[in-house]
């Protein structure tokens, strides 16, 4: 009897610990694929698993693959647990992003997570970016290393989007925060967007500016998705009016936390200290004066200057004008864990 009681107590303790450490995205509804998404491209390169809540998308010589949300959203919390392909992944790009490019071709909005593959022995990197009102000539890229191998297990990647704030999360760690400023104008995403997940061949730019390309000897490259969260203000695609809430409403009614706790802010500072590899806010070659939303941290500036004194110190070298040519030189992230 005592053994049963001790075992029960241990199980209960674990459950309490799990409950206490559950991240906020895990309290939001997880949809099956058919409830929230549609096949975008790739034919048989997209596979829905039996429970309907997991999906695999793959890249081979024939095609990549992707899926898209059935609804448009104006603000919300959007998340997926993702396991990236392993081994040699140079040139492979896995993207988890929001966009309305199919509706607004010349003035689209976009919020990006881009996962950039690498040669064997080198780590995947993450890039985030935002565009508003077609501002593709003004890249707002940031690039990071990670404190884990994203090909070994699933990790949660999330986007919080409100009318005046955007936060990118890895697991429950906010890695980037963008606050809307008056000077940004339409550069802050403000029109309804769909959520997309894709895998594709980015050989021309993704790894060392295109030096290393996709090697299909290692195909298929499979990105695995689970814990799909689409929790926001869905809008009618014709009227562009909200089904769930008015465009200006707080997301509190949807049980979405729209602020960063002091503990999360501390984790964000530590992440950026250890893993930030490039930020447009410090790129003196592209922007002689930082854009209005940039909050300059002298310690970040000094550390990035050590990585690349030309880009982050104001020297001169050539940058292309197309979207994916604005890339920093990758640097080895520190190994300190969060």
Catalytic residue check, 114: yes
Q: Exactly one of 110, 141, 293, 300 is catalytic; which is it? A: 110
Kindly state the helix (H) or strand (E) to which residue 91 belongs, with its residue range.
none
Q: Exactly one of 114, 141, 142, 293 is catalytic; which is it? A: 114
Rounded (5°) CA angle 125-324-102: 105
Quick one: pLDDT at residue 251? 75
Tens-place pLDDT, residues 221-254? 999 999 999 999 999 888 777 666 654 455 776 7
Q: How many CB atoms lie within 10 A of CB 140?
A: 22
Q: What is the mean pLDDT of the chain?
A: 86
Preceding peptide of 220 cis, ω within 30°: yes
Half-sphere exposure of 6 (CA within 13 A, CB side): 3
Whether 75 shows a pLDDT value over 50: the answer reads yes
Whether 55 shows a pLDDT value over 50: the answer reads yes
* Distance in angstroms (rounded) separating the CA atoms of residues 76 and 206: 29
Quick one: pLDDT at residue 3? 52
Beta partners for residue 48, in sequence order: 55
* Distance in angstroms (rounded) separating the CA atoms of residues 318 and 70: 41
* Residue 330: band (very low, low, confident or very high) from pLDDT cuts 50, 70, 90: very low
Quick one: pLDDT at residue 144? 97
Whether 319 shows a pLDDT value over 60: the answer reads no
Whether 149 shows a pLDDT value over 60: the answer reads yes
Lowest mean pLDDT among 22-31, 55-64, 118-127, 253-262: 22-31
Rounded (5°) CA angle 54-55-59: 155
Whether 109 shows a pLDDT value over 90: the answer reads yes
Q: Are 112 and 78 within 8 A, CB to CB?
A: no
| Mean pLDDT along residues 193-222 | 97
Q: How many CB atoms lie within 10 A of CB 297?
A: 17
Catalytic residue check, 152: no
Whether 160 shows a pLDDT value over 80: the answer reads yes
Q: Are 212 and 122 within 8 A, CB to CB?
A: no
């Amino acid at each position: 009897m005592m053994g049963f009681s001790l075992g029960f107590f241990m199980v209960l303790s674990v459950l309490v610990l799990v409950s206490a450490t559950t991240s906020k995205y895990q309290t939001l509804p997880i949809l099956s694929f058919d409830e929230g998404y549609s096949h975008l491209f790739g034919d048989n390169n997209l596979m829905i698993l039996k429970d309907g809540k997991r999906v695999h998308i793959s890249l081979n010589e024939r095609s990549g693959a992707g899926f898209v949300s059935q609804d448009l959203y104006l603000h919300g919390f959007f998340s997926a647990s993702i396991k990236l392909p392993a081994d040699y992944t140079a040139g492979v790009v896995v993207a988890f992003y929001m966009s309305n490019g199919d509706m607004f071709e010349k003035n689209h909005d976009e919020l990006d997570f881009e996962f950039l593959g690498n040669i064997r022995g080198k780590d995947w990197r993450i890039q985030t970016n935002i565009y508003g009102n077609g501002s593709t000539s003004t890249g707002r890229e940031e690039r990071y290393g990670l404190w884990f191998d994203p090909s070994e297990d699933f990790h949660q990647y999330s986007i919080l989007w409100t009318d005046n704030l955007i936060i990118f999360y890895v697991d429950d760690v906010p890695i980037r925060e963008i606050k809307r400023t008056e000077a940004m104008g339409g550069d802050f995403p403000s029109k309804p967007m769909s959520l997309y997940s894709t895998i594709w061949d980015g050989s021309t730019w993704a790894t060392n500016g295109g030096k290393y390309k996709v090697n299909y000897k290692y195909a298929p490259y499979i990105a695995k998705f689970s814990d799909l969260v689409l929790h926001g203000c869905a809008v009618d695609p014709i009227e562009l009016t909200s089904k769930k809430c008015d465009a200006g409403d707080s997301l509190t009614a949807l049980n979405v936390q729209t602020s960063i706790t002091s503990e999360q802010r501390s984790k964000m500072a530590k992440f950026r200290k250890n893993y930030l590899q490039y930020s447009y806010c410090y790129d003196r070659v592209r922007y002689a004066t930082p854009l209005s939303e940039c909050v300059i941290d002298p310690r970040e500036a000094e550390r990035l200057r050590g990585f690349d004194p030309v880009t982050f110190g104001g020297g001169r070298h050539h940058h292309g004008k197309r979207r994916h040519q604005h890339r920093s030189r990758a640097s080895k992230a520190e190994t300190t864990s969060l």
